[in-house]
Each structure stands twice: as structure tokens, then as C-alpha cells.
Amino acid sequence: MYSGAFFYDKNNNLLKDADETVESSLESYYLTRQKINKILKGKQGVSRFDLITLYFYCYVPLYGDDLPAEERKRRCLDFIDEMNKILKKANMYKYNVTNPYECFILLCVMAEDPFQAFTGLYSYDREKKF
């Protein structure tokens, strides 16, 4: 998923700064204990991406792994519908699949094992950091 997602030039060559681009683009989406603690104490606001990530954590366990393609499609459409309800209550725009992070979450929802897909990219990014 990582190698084919983005970071190619017009000649279809992988850009040399692809690792740094992934690192910088995902850095603000990490839900660390410190970030959650600040949100709970009211020291930091909840962003759109925090809501989407938290709902992903809550939503995916409702379905089992290794679902047939039709069920994964249904899971994806249900996720978007329910996420739009949450975003509307928070006075935010509807789910935007053209946003790279929101598209990434949707790809994870569509995967056979959503948590595996989600943590795969994050663990790859952390391995590169440390």
C-alpha cells in the first residue's frame, strides 16, 4: 500500500524524498497518549482527523476480518454514512475521499484486515523515524 500510494514524478519514478514526505504528512495524525490527554483536559481541540481516526478505531471491530468483497464494500459505505453524521454534528464538512488521509482511512476500511493495513503504514513510518 505504501509503495504505490503516492510520491512519483511525471516519469513514474519514485521521488527521493518519499520517506520524508510520508513522515511529515502522518506526523500530525498520531494519536498519542499525550495528545488524547490534552484533548480530554481541554488544552487542545479535536481536529477533523482526530474524529475520523477515533471513529475508525471504534467502527472496525464491529465487523470481522476476512469479509467477502461485497461485505467490505458495505462496510465502507456504512463507514462513510456514519462518519458524515458525526462530522455534521461537529459542524464539519462531509467525508472527503480526495483528502489523502481520509482516502487512506477508507482504504484501510476496505482492506481484508483494516487494523493490519492501518498499523502497517504507521509502523513503517516509525521504523524510518527511529
Summarised one tens digit per residue, pLDDT across range 91-123 is 999 999 888 889 889 988 888 888 888 888 766
CA neighbor of 109 nearest in space, from 118, 101, 99, 100: 118
Q: What pLDDT score was predicted for residue 60?
A: 84
Which residues have C-beta within 8 Å of that of residue 56, sequence separation ≥ 6? Answer: 79, 105, 108, 109, 114, 118
- For residue 97, which amino acid is it? V
Which pTM value belongs to this model? 0.69
What is the C-alpha separation between 36 and 40, in angstroms, rounded?
A: 6
Q: Is residue 60 part of a domain?
A: yes
Q: Is residue 1 part of a domain?
A: no
**pLDDT band, very low/low/confident/very high, at 1 (cuts 50, 70, 90):** very low
Q: What pLDDT score was predicted for residue 130?
A: 41
Q: Is residue 2 part of a domain?
A: no
Q: Is residue 8 part of a domain?
A: no
Tally of domains within the chain:
1
Q: Is residue 113 part of a domain?
A: yes
Q: What is the pLDDT of residues 50-92, one digit of tens each?
A: 889 889 988 888 876 677 778 888 888 999 999 999 999 999 9
Q: What pLDDT score was predicted for residue 124?
A: 60
Q: Is residue 74 part of a domain?
A: yes
Domain housing 22:
14-129
